[in-house]
Amino acid sequence: MVIDPKRIREKMVREQIEGRGIKDQEVITAMLSVPRHLFVDEALQSQAYADHPLPIGYGQTISQPYIVALMSSLLDVKPGMKVLEIGTGSGYQAAVLAEMGADVFSVERVKPLYQRARKLFSQLGYHYIKTKLDDGTMGWPQKSPFDRILVTAGGPDVPTPLVDQLSDPGILIIPVGDSKRSQKLIKITKNDGSVEREDMGSVAFVDLVGKFGW
């Protein structure tokens, strides 16, 4: 069990987030607020704020805190924006985005994780996070377009439906790579009808499974 989670959370943000150059105050405030230890199994709660990912079952993980902060910062979320998250997983990333003021829509393909996240969102008061059990590579067309899209799993390329569902202007962040568990973090920017692609560095995510994934 985590001892004094608030103090440990502050240390995590100071050392792992701010210490590595994340300056987005909305991200910092959100990660100080979200009780990360509640998004992992009780047996792993003592490691919840450590500088590495943790297993959450079904071959999935909760991402390293710095990666959550980096991706959230790259999204450049403003309060009131519609954000689509592909890969609800533990629910932690969605909670961070919600704390940043986003209107969050999150898609998960693994039913037990979907059910667990929905229950946790309700318990923690995140009633406004919308969730869906489906193939995330197809996006959520009924709710599109989205100001921002965040994909928390790595695929062979950027799924076409996600680009189509991105607003103009809009930003999409996704890990992409030829080999599983080893990708480049790609930032897609749509502006005035043009789509630009930028490599933001190497990452390692679980597989993006679906029609437009592995």
CA geometry: angle at 132 spanning 69 and 157, to 5°?
60
Burial grade of 142 (CB within 10 A; 0-12, 13-18, 19 or more): exposed
175's tokens: 């890990």
DSSP 155: B
Q: What is the rounded distance in angstroms from the CA atom of residue 11 to the CA atom of residue 2? A: 13
- Among 53, 18, 76, 81, which residue's Cα sits nearest to residue 154? 53
Catalytic residue among 63, 72, 73, 106: 63
Q: Note if 202 is an active site residue.
A: no
Catalytic site positions: 63
